[in-house]
Amino acid sequence: MASDSDSDEDFVTYGTPLEPLEEDEPLKKPVPLHDQTVKDEKGRYKRFHGAFTGGFSAGYFNTVGSKEGWAPSAFVSSRQQKAEKHHARPEDFMDEEDFSEHGIAPREITTSQEFSSSRRDEAGEKARAISAQAALIPGDTLLEELIAPARSSIGVELLMKMGWKEGQGVGPRVKRKARRQQMDGGGKVYGCTLPPAGSEESEDDDEEFAPENVTFAPKDVTPVDFNPRLGVQGLGYRGLDPSLALLGHGTAEHIDLFKPQSETRNRLFGDTKSSSRRGGVVGQAFGVGALEDDDEDVYHRDSMSRYDTILGEEEPGDSLYGWTAPQQYTKKKVRSKDASYLGKILEGFTLAQKPLEEKTIFPPPCLPRDYRPVHHFRPSVDVSHLSGVSPALAEALRVSKGHMVKEEPQQAGRHQLDSGQRRALLGEDTLQGPSSVMELLRPEDRQRLLSFRNSSNPPSAKTSTPVSGHASQTSGKSAQVLPASSGLQQEALAAWRGIQTSSQTFKPFEKNPSKQARYELYLSRLKQGDNDALEQSLDPGMTEWERSREREEFVRASILYRPTSSSLSSRFTRAKDQEDDDSVEVSQDQEGDLDDKQSAVKMKMFGKLTRETFEWYPDKLLCKRFNVPDPYPGSGIVGLPKVKRDKFSVFNFLTVTESREAAAPPKPPESGKKSRWDVSEQKVEKKKEDPLGELLSAARNQTETKVEHTPTPALPALPASISSSDQAPGSKPEIKSSEQQSSEQKKEGDEEEEEEEEESRPPMDLFKAIFASSSDEKSSSSSEGESSDEEEEKVTKEDEGKVDSEPLNLFSIPSSSSATTTSSSATTTSSSATASSSATASSSATASSSATTSSSATASSSATASSSHQAAVSTQASEQEEEEFGPKLPPPSAALIRGGAASMCPPIKEVKTGKKSKEKKHKKKKHYKHKKEKKKKKHKKHKHKEAAEEEQGGGAGEQEGEDGQVSTDELLKRSEVTCQSIER
Amino acid sequence: MAFPQPRPQAPQIPQHLLRTIDCQQGAVRAVRFNIDGNYLLSCGSDKSLKLWSTSRGTLLKTYSGHGYEVLDADGSYDNSQICSCSSDKTVILWDVATGQVTRKLRGHAGKVNCVQFNEEATVILSGSIDGTVRCWDTRSRRYEPIQVLDEARDGISSLKVAQHELLTGSVDGRVRRYDLRMGQLHVDFISSPITCVCFSQDGQCTLSSSLDSTLRLLDKSTGEMLGEYTGHKMKGYKLDCCLSSKDTHVLSCSEDGHVYCWDLVEGSLSLKLPVGKAVVQSLSFHPTETRLLTAMEGRVQVWGADEKGSA
């Protein structure tokens, strides 16, 4: 592409371009030979006889000038008319060709000798030679030739008149210094260094006492004159000279076509050796005559050493250094070395200029005595998945991972969001209708199914309760850390016990062979019914944290991929070929969480939170046009880089069991949902924490976790295990509390409940486990959602555009503020809605959750006396929501440290927006559009203005709360602005 | 320097109406100074683009060739070329002297909101409602853009070029800054749809106006907010904002018929310039002097610091 455009830039074209070939054009017929005619300049046909039979025909059929031939002229002489004495001139026998420019007697205007350059005119010389031959005394003109008049060309004369003298160069006079610089430092040195200025050395002395005002003419440089090679012979070829050949010199050597110098020298100085030879053409090509006696050379083999393989031996000295740069310098050195190595060097090789640098080889390090050459790869565990571990540890791990840090947030962003969150991000509506197949069934049928399923694995029902206690005892301290997973362990054990068939072929940890091995060990132990299967199969060499992580994964994986019952497995077949495209092309850097930024914007904390930086590859040509060096030279990427990412990863399924639990066991459904909420909320919070000043948050969380650790031991478990914590016997009261909270939530809005129900829909992920490709479907659907969302926005925008595009009358009507509700306000409300919902959830969870963060958490963090300017405002905002939802939140006094703003801001209006459902918003949007149309009508009919406004007012009633919020926000801003100005 | 520098004058604000030009081309969608401020371009909704003399207020040339209303225009550094964009999805490169269309660039899928030359007028950058910024080459005869920047998730409402940087504001509420030299894209999230973005004259800050009736001055390198300017009304229309020639003030159009002018540092409203009753659609600040152009309905008004317009 770039080269194309480059060629486009060249506006200078040479020659006539060929006519562009058109594809559908039929091929032209070649012109037959007899139609190819040659005409001379007068339009007469010239016939070609062939190269050896005269070339083109001339005259009239190769005879004479006309059809009549030579017209005989009669000699008539009378008394009155004496016949003139006729002198035949050469011109009489010439035709126009001879008189033309290249003929023997050119008649056209040519440069006279006086003005011609030094190039001799061949025609004149030829004429002179002929005349000399024709002269009576041969060699008569010899004297003339010898004593040629001194004549200089007009150019030389002009130069002389301008002050030029023979031997000087042409150009402005220079000072010696400058000239030397030109010689030495001028010009770049390519490849090798220039020789030391040998010939200039002598001039240095003059330079010393050269006065300032004396200038010198530049050195005379003879221009290198290139003769174009016309033939196809090699360099230096000179044709065979028959006269030389007949002289017969050089029988010893074959006729050297490439050594003109020696020949000429011989000729010039009359080589005696060659003259003694007999004549005759001899040499390799001609064989040996019968009379030759020396025939030892018949099978002469020519060797390459007799040819010059290097150009430019005969280059003269210093004045031609542009052409043959460093000749003498290198030659001398090489020669001196060559001499000592003579004969040892292979043909085609030369000695190195510099001796090779010797590589120093260091001895290998001494191994410690107890060194074992085995390396255990630590699983690269994503830190952000952990909520149970103290943030400081997580921080340390994150730092220790070094380069992995960059990848981390994306993975988290992708895998940590569940469908509900994604939906919330995209602003989609909750799905209508039953979320699960189970809900379609009648309750008794459902019960029957459940009981049937439970009966299919009877040991679980029997063993679950006693063994859980046993397990918790045996596993010791690990049980403390995750009492939640013990229930799962039992389930896994129940599922796998006694199964001897190796039907299980799925390898969830295929990427990590050692881990897979451990997993298989675990499975085999499970099959044997070993209760301590998990603990024994784990690697003792790992850290506690890693082990707990792996424990979690193994249990989940074993439950997830539990052997299917025969009826089910018979229906599915394993995929024949490994699908190799198990990765999706995603843009390498995805934009982070929107909620996060929304809250940051709300808090006016621009900067790190709202700023994101990506690698971006500009087009090469664009850089060129902007006069900027290509930031990524040699990379073929344009735009944002794309990256292949695993679309099939275990972490996709980690939440599955929770939903299964929520649906399957006869537990109170609220608790399951509740836990689900908790988990998702924690994830969100975890994410929010990332961009904040991490040290600060780490420190803060450290203190918080220390405080909150003791009352709720179930907490520091993994995020997923929190859901299962309600199965653990120890955490009953907590469930109750969460139940209470959830019931509180229920009161607040029915829509929310709908969402929750939506949330608890289990089977998508399960299907994903079976059909691996479903994830990209999902992604496509999500993108569709996005695009539709965008379209919607565009529509609104276009509506505005339409309003805009109405020419003049549009301007006469002021737009009322209530009428112009924009998508922006919609988005802000959505953000507030999400933020507030998160606030509720988190507030309900604050009692339990150890990870408290960011927007909603800044409120709590302010308790730790963060007196930052803007955070206080933010707490204001979040406090509004707290009033609605937050039963357990830090006291407002702590939040309102900055009393100035608090006192100045008016009492907060009732904010309903927090719990506003998306449906409502949607309605609003429609309403908005509707209003727009109204507005247009208004433009046309002025009289209906009032009525329309009334309607707007009526319609605006629904969004009053929102408007109120916006206004309060603005008030807040203004108050802050005024505060700032006061402070100044 | 024998003499001390004269005391710096207090920053002046263009508050006196110097001239009103009735453009006779329907609603004026945008009004722009040329590179040195001697001429102005007005983009009309009657598909025409007009070139005026700022000092005399005379019409110099009318450029017609667009198929729908002209939305934005920009003049090249040497005043030899003009680029303009229109609702007809095209970008046109004009020859100033002859008024002929040098090139008509098609490729956007929607109406083109903003257009800008780069410094040497070798590239035209155009942002459209289709969410893309296209970089057109003016040197070659290619009709495809050099590069399409499709990072925005919604329409591009405004874009500016400064040296090797490209600043775009999008309806998706983000200000994106493409740094060609570093090969980086910086995205600043503003949340509300962006209507206009500007570089400050010193190139250290970016100004963005959004539909939540707020102007924000962000630090270019870190994205931190340096100032916030409110009070005007910008809720539905794509209105312009700008900085004064010496970076002393921030100006913005408003839907209530005023031009608001804030002190950049203090953030206090220093002038509320009544332009008319309708929406002030566009404005442009003189590159060197204290001179302001505003466009309302079919008129373009020239404002100066004092009555004579000497400053």
Give the pLDDT score at A932: 47
Give whichever of A410-419, A495-504, A637-646 has the largest mean pLDDT: A637-646
CB contact under 8 A, B228 and A973: yes
- Tokens for B72? 């934005």
* Residue A795 at interface with chain B, using a CB cutoff of 8 Å: no
Give the pLDDT score at B176: 92
Give the pLDDT score at A242: 61
Confidence of residue A57 (pLDDT cuts 50, 70, 90): low
* Residue B97 at interface with chain A, using a CB cutoff of 8 Å: no
- Chain A residues with CB inside 8 Å of B256's CB? 814
Give the pLDDT score at A684: 39
Q: Coil, strand or helix: which one is A264?
A: helix
Range in A554-563, A753-762, B129-138, B144-153 with the lowest mean pLDDT: A753-762
Give the pLDDT score at B30: 92
Cα nearest neighbour of B125 on chain A: A622
CB contact under 8 A, B122 and A626: yes
Length of chain A: 984
Give the pLDDT score at A78: 85
Element housing A766 (H / E): helix A763-770
In this structure, the number of other CB atoms found within 10 A of the CB of residue A529 comes to: 14
Closest CA to A489 of A544, A532, A545: A532
Give the pLDDT score at A51: 65
Give the pLDDT score at A611: 85
Range in A86-90, A459-463, A539-543, B115-119 with the lowest mean pLDDT: A459-463
Query: CA of A787 to nearest chain B CA: how many angstroms apart?
Result: 9
Give tens-digit pLDDT for A904-947. 434 444 434 444 444 444 444 445 445 444 444 445 444 444 44
Give the pLDDT score at A677: 39
CB contact under 8 A, A827 and B212: no
Residue A981 has pLDDT above 80, yes or no: no
* Residue B28 at interface with chain A, using a CB cutoff of 8 Å: no
- d(C-alpha A123, C-alpha A531), whole Å: 116
Give the pLDDT score at B194: 92
CB contact under 8 A, A611 and B187: yes
Cα nearest neighbour of B87 on chain A: A805
**Who among B69, B180, B222 is closest to A623 (CB)?**
B180
pTM: 0.37
Average pLDDT over residues A215-223: 74
Range in A34-48, A77-91, A151-165 with the lowest mean pLDDT: A34-48
Give the pLDDT score at A50: 67
* Residue A615 at interface with chain B, using a CB cutoff of 8 Å: yes
Helices vs. strands in chain B: H and E counts, helices first? 0, 28
**Cβ A787 vs Cβ A813: under 8 Å:** no
- Chain A residues with CB inside 8 Å of B278's CB? 811-812, 814
Strand B133-137: give its sheet, edge to edge.
B112-117, B123-128, B133-137, B147-149
Tell me the percentage of chain A whose pLDDT exceeds 90. 0
- Tokens for A272? 């005696």
- d(C-alpha A737, C-alpha A773), whole Å: 40
CB contact under 8 A, B27 and A811: yes
Range in A494-508, A557-571, A669-683, B267-281 with the lowest mean pLDDT: A669-683
Low-confidence ranges of chain B (pLDDT < 70): 1-2, 8-10, 308-311
- d(C-alpha A177, C-alpha A168), whole Å: 18
**Who among B139, B181, B187 is closest to A628 (CB)?**
B181
Higher-pLDDT residue of A755 and A232 is A232
**Who among A604, A613, A625 is closest to B184 (CB)?**
A613
Give the pLDDT score at A712: 35
* Residue A812 at interface with chain B, using a CB cutoff of 8 Å: yes
In this structure, the number of other CB atoms found within 10 A of the CB of residue B177 comes to: 25
Query: CA of A703 to nearest chain B CA: how many angstroms apart?
Result: 29
Range in A183-197, A809-823, B24-38 with the lowest mean pLDDT: A809-823
Give tens-digit pLDDT for A285-298. 555 556 555 555 55
Query: CA of B194 to nearest chain A CA: how many angstroms apart?
Result: 10
Best of B66, B191, B260, B280 to disrupt the A interface (most A CBs within 10 Å) is B191
Average pLDDT over residues A129-149: 66
Give the pLDDT score at B298: 87
Q: Which DSSP string corresponds to A576-609?
A: SS--S--EEEEESS----HHHHHHHHHTT--STT
Give the pLDDT score at B42: 92
Instruction: Show Cβ contacts of residue A436 under 8 Å, excluding neighbours closer than 6 positions.
Output: A663, A760, A761, A762, A763
- Chain B residues with CB inside 8 Å of A617's CB? 183
In single-letter form, the type of residue at position A311 comes to L
Output the average pLDDT for chain A: 57
Give tens-digit pLDDT for A241-298. 666 555 544 444 444 555 444 444 444 444 444 444 444 554 455 555 565 555 555 5
* Residue A810 at interface with chain B, using a CB cutoff of 8 Å: yes
ipTM: 0.89
Average pLDDT over residues A629-635: 84
- Chain A residues with CB inside 8 Å of B71's CB? none
Give tens-digit pLDDT for A3-12. 444 445 657 7
Higher-pLDDT residue of A581 and B91 is B91
Confidence of residue A519 (pLDDT cuts 50, 70, 90): confident
Locate the domains of chain A by residue range: 120-149, 487-496+505-562, 595-644
Residue A969 has pLDDT above 90, yes or no: no
- Tokens for A52? 């050896």
Residue A878 has pLDDT above 60, yes or no: no
**Who among A591, A611, A627 is closest to B223 (CB)?**
A611
* Residue A608 at interface with chain B, using a CB cutoff of 8 Å: yes
Average pLDDT over residues A588-604: 71
Query: CA of A753 to nearest chain B CA: how many angstroms apart?
Result: 28
Confidence of residue A855 (pLDDT cuts 50, 70, 90): very low
Give the pLDDT score at A91: 77
- d(C-alpha B129, C-alpha B180), whole Å: 23
* Residue B74 at interface with chain A, using a CB cutoff of 8 Å: no
Contacts 24+ apart (CB under 8 A), A440-445: none
Phi, psi angle pair for A879, to nearest 5°? -70, -30
Higher-pLDDT residue of A589 and B222 is B222
Residue appearing with tokens 């010193």: B202
**Who among A638, A804, A810 is closest to B147 (CB)?**
A638
